[in-house]
Each structure stands twice: as C-alpha cells, then as structure tokens.
C-alpha cells in the first residue's frame, strides 16, 4: 500500500495535492466535492484587503457618495453580491466548511498592509481555520518605493500576523524579487511556517481597436512549473519553513517533479477549473501508478531527491549551467 500522506503546516494531509485558492472554494458543496475527489487540503478563495476596507461603514458611505461623480472608480471594486462573499460571510464560510469536511481548511488573506488584516486573521482563526495563507500581492509602481521598502513591508506584515494568531501561517510570494533566497530567509526569521512559490500576477492587455486596457486571466500551463521547481530545489535544503509549489501543476508528472524538488505539497487551480473537480481522482490514480512502477512506498521517500543538496551536479541550478543551456540549442536552417 503506497502512502500518499504528508505533513504541511503541522497538519496531517492524506495527499500532497492541495486545491489552491480559487472560485471553486467559494461554496461548501464544492469544498465537500474536493475532499471526496481526493484533495489533501483546500485553501479558500482570498479575502481581499479592498473588501476589508469596504467593510468599514465610513468608507462604504464615502464611495457611495462619490459613485455618481466617479462611476468608473467603483468599477474596480467587485460587486458584493456577484463576488458572493463579504468579510463576515467569509468567516461563516470557514465555520460551515469545517463542519462539512475533515480535511484541513486554510483561510487566505490577499493584500499587502497590516490594516484590518490582524482583525480578520483573528476572526479566521476563531472560525476554525486550520491555518492561514497570506497571499501578498503588491506592485511597487511608485519610483519612490525601493526594493528594501517592499521586502521590509513583507517581513513586518508576517511578523505582525504571527504575533496575533496561534494557527500556522504560510506566505504566498511573487517571484519578482532581486534576491528571492534572502527574502525567503527573512520571512523564515519573521516566523513564516511555510512559503508558497509562486503567485501568478494579473497582467493587463491592450485592445488595439478600442485602446482600452483589457482585464483577463489566462490559466497556467505545465511550462510555468519550471520556475517553481528551480527555486524550491535551491531553497528546500536550507530553509526551516516548508515549501509549497503553486502554478503550473497539471499532471501526475508535475506532482512528482514538485515533490522531487522538495515541496511538501503541490497546489493546483487551473487544471481543476479547466477539467473539473473530478480530475483529482484521475490525478491521484496516475500518481499511484507512477510511484508503484518506480518502487516508491511513499511520497516521503521521493521528497527532495532532486534538490540542490541531492543532485550530483548542483551547478545545474545556477548560472554555471547558463552557457551550456544556450549552446545546446541550435537554430534550424531556414527552408
């Protein structure tokens, strides 16, 4: 019998495959289906900093008063009815989900400033969430903001939250840091229990005919997994926080690669959105088949076998391999 179980954030999971934050986790029915299909845990869709701000009566009144004059400004805030969950509703969702399933339920806060986060981090904990994921989405668009300012804001946010809650805290990061390894170490020192690599940022497009900025979201592909594998393989031998991979996980092979790199869990959204929740059953079956055919008794035996401390040539993960990769590609003669 192959053992798929793993430990993440101090929680026992039946499988290393976690349903990451997405619209699928907005309803208890879907959360129940995710568990039945084999998910090891679920990260609820994020409660956004903007929603926390809008929950304040004075801000809500201010926005409504200005909406007649600046209707386009209101368009950037999701309608609470269509978005489905306000901060209080989010807490109720956690309470209901905990009653409905046995797998761990992880809350998610999306933003960058402490603000109302501490209040809602406490409420998420009180509602019964097993852990909290800080989905830090910050774009340093001001030329006055330095890299040090950005990194320090992350560290202070994690430290402040960790001082206020007892449940484990994971931090979901962007890959867009000059020195990502050092940032991860600073978050380690700030108390992060796990790091989730990496966030997929919204990228606006242009409509050539209307000359408008177009809002759309493209689902990930397995090609995006390589960036995650690279950094998890480099960092997993040297950091205390556990590592999770998110972005680019679509197949059983992707799951295997993530665990080989040293990830404790792999998270997926795009594959479930495009193929349905039941796809988890096929994914687990394929994973078990691969492990059996390669004579592994558990995912723990596999974990980290391809990280920087385990491979024969660690330079494969560094600049030393850059020239070799470039020279390996030869252009075909034009026909």
Q: Is residue 334 part of a domain?
A: no
CB neighbours of 249 closer than 8 A, spacing ≥ 6? Answer: 222, 225, 255, 258, 266, 267, 268, 271
Q: Is residue 319 part of a domain?
A: yes
pLDDT score of 130: 98
Q: Which residues form the domain of 228? A: 6-327
Which tens digit of pLDDT belongs to each residue from 12-50? 999 999 999 999 999 999 999 999 999 999 999 988 766
The HSE-up count of residue 79 (CA atoms within 13 Å, CB side) is 3
Give every residue of the chain whose pLDDT is below 70, as ranges: 49-85, 111-116, 319-335
pLDDT score of 126: 95
Which tens digit of pLDDT belongs to each residue from 83-96? 445 778 999 999 99
Bridge partners (DSSP) listed for residue 318: none
Considering Cα of 62, then 64, then 65, then 67, what sign does the dihedral take?
A: positive
pLDDT score of 119: 84
Q: Is residue 231 part of a domain?
A: yes
Maximum alpha-carbon separation in the chain: 67
- CATH number reported for the structural domain that contains residue 96 in this entry: 3.20.20.70
Average pLDDT, the chain: 86
Q: Is residue 16 part of a domain?
A: yes
Q: Is residue 166 part of a domain?
A: yes
Q: Is residue 318 part of a domain?
A: yes
Q: Is residue 1 part of a domain?
A: no
Omega before 198 within 30 of 0, i.e. cis: yes
pLDDT score of 110: 83
């Amino acid at each position: 019998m192959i053992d798929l179980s793993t430990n993440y954030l101090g929680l026992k999971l039946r499988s290393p495959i976690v349903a990451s934050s997405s619209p699928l986790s907005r309803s208890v029915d879907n959360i129940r289906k995710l568990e039945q299909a084999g998910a090891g845990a679920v990260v609820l869709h994020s409660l956004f900093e903007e929603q926390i701000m809008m929950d304040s009566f004075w801000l809500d009144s201010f926005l409504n008063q200005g909406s007649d004059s600046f209707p386009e400004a209101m368009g950037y805030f999701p309608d609470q009815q269509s978005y489905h969950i306000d901060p209080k509703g989010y807490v109720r969702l956690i309470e209901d989900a905990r009653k409905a399933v046995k797998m761990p339920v992880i809350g998610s806060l999306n933003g960058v400033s402490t603000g109302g986060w501490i209040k809602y981090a406490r409420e998420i904990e009180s509602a019964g969430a097993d852990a909290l994921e800080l989905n830090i989405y910050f774009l340093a668009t001001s030329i006055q903001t330095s890299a040090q300012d950005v990194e320090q804001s992350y560290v202070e946010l994690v430290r402040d939250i960790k001082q206020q809650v007892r449940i484990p805290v994971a931090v979901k990061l962007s890959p867009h840091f000059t020195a990502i390894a050092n940032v991860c170490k600073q978050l380690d020192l700030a108390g992060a229990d796990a790091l989730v690599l990496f966030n997929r940022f919204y990228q606006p497009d242009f409509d050539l005919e209307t000359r408008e900025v177009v809002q759309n979201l493209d689902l990930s592909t397995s090609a995006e997994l390589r960036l995650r594998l690279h950094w998890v393989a480099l960092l997993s031998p040297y950091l205390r926080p556990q590592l999770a991979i998110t972005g680019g996980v679509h197949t059983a092979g992707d799951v295997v690669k993530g665990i080989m790199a040293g990830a404790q869990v792999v998270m997926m959204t795009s594959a479930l959105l495009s193929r349905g929740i039941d796809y988890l059953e096929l994914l687990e079956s394929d994973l078990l088949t691969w492990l059996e055919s390669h004579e592994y008794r558990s995912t723990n035996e596999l974990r980290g076998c391809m990280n920087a401390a385990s491979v024969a040539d660690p330079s494969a993960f560094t600049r030393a391999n850059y020239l070799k990769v470039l020279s390996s590609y030869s252009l075909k003669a034009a026909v």
